[in-house]
Amino acid sequence: MINAATKSTGAMNRDSILSINRTQTQCVKNQGNIMTLIKNTGGTQTIGTHSPHSRTQQTPPRQMPGSQPSFAQTPSGQQGRAPQPSYGQAQGRPPRQPQNIQPALTAGQQNTASTPGMPAARPVPSLVNKVQKGQKTHLSADALTAVEARFGWNVTDARCDVDVSAFLLGADGKVIGDSWFVFYGQTFSPDKSTRFMEGGSADREMIQIDLSRLNPQVKKIVFVLTINDALENRLHFGMLKDAYIRIMDSSGKELVSFLITEYYNNIISMMIGELYLHNGAWKFSAVGNGVARDLAGLCELYGVQVV
């Protein structure tokens, strides 16, 4: 179990695990604040909110120290997360009310929960080496030293704020340590091999992986899409469309891609794909399976200690 600074104002718990961030003040993870986030909006800290419109402009993330995979640079003007405030004493919040997740959409059924102020849709980039759900494929016949996972999606409800996470798992299917998952609030893995970045003009978010620096205990990397505050706001994957993952090599060439074609309103998180070692070579699996768990629930699923 680790102590890590968060965007929350209190001890890390189940209501704020989205807030884990780079070290500032230290605190202990617990199940009371994992989903609680603090945003700087006009200088005011807002607890428990994570609006898709609250991200502010900032300079591109710093480069990893040491040798770096030669990824193409992210276009300038990319959107960044708000600066991370330090947190103080734990703050209580009323018990969460039970949420009812609706049945899955049937064929031809339309989403009716759309709201005004939709974010601008992005076209799906050209996906060259598409695979189908459940398909597994070798990434390359040549030895790979670095790859980049790029993600995109569109929404039919403006409240949907989608985030990408990567869980670095050992042979037992669990994280090799509590800090071994990467997302916008914890942008580097402990070995500095895996890095979260905001996307450019084509992709919304990216995970860069320097395989040459990856801890040898890591045998699988699972990529997950989650909708922030889905339970509280009754949001679900039936409100998404055009979600994809594409794996690129360090030259920007697409190795494999997967476009989700099934969207259901009984799930709030999606394991979109995974990289895994097989006989010493990296392969990609197009998973496409969703669960009715938030990011805190996924952390429990993959072995991150949340007490």
Is residue 73 pLDDT above 50, yes or no?
Answer: no
Torsion of CA 203, 54, 226, 302, to 10 degrees: 110
Rg of the chain (C-alpha set): 18
**How do residues 82-132 score in pLDDT, each as one tens digit?**
333 332 333 333 343 333 334 434 333 444 444 457 778 999 999 999 999
Cα–Cα distance measured from residue 258 to residue 159, given in angstroms and rounded to the nearest whole number:
25
pLDDT(71) > 70? no
- pLDDT number for residue 116: 59
Q: Is residue 301 within a helix (H) or strand (E), and if so which, with residue range?
A: helix 295-301
- pLDDT score for 142: 80
Is the Cβ–Cβ distance between 25 and 7 less than 8 Å? no
Whether the per-residue pLDDT at 38 is higher than 60: the answer is no
Residue 230 phi/psi, 5° resolution? -65, -45
The pLDDT, as a whole number, for residue 118 is: 79
- pLDDT of 266 reads 93
Domain ranges of the chain: 128-307
CA distance 266 to 276: 28
Considering only residues 45 and 115, tell me which one the structure prediction assigns the higher pLDDT.
115
Whether 175 and 1 have beta carbons less than 8 Å apart is answered as no
How far apart (Å, rounded) are the C-alpha atoms in residues 133 and 138? 15
pLDDT in tens, 231-262: 999 999 999 999 999 999 999 999 999 999 99
Task: State the pLDDT confidence band at 3, using cuts at 50, 70 and 90.
Answer: very low
Stated pTM of the model: 0.67
Q: d(Cα 14, Cα 28) in Å, to the nearest integer?
A: 11
Over residues 274-287, the mean pLDDT reads 95
Pairing of strands 56-57, 79-80: antiparallel
pLDDT at residue 140, as a whole number: 85
Q: How much is the pLDDT for 268?
A: 95
Q: What is the mean pLDDT of the chain?
A: 73
pLDDT band for position 9 (cuts 50, 70, 90): very low
Q: What pLDDT does 57 receive?
A: 39
Dist. CA 263–CA 252, nearest whole Å: 29
Report the C-alpha gap between 259 and 94 in whole angstroms: 39
- Which of 58-67, 161-170, 175-184 comes out lowest in average pLDDT? 58-67
Residues 228/294, Cβ–Cβ less than 8 Å: no
CATH code for residues 128-307: 2.60.60.30
Is the model more confident about 173 or about 70? 173
162-175 mean pLDDT: 97
> Token pair for residue 196?
């979260």
Question: Rounded mean pLDDT of 150-157?
Answer: 96
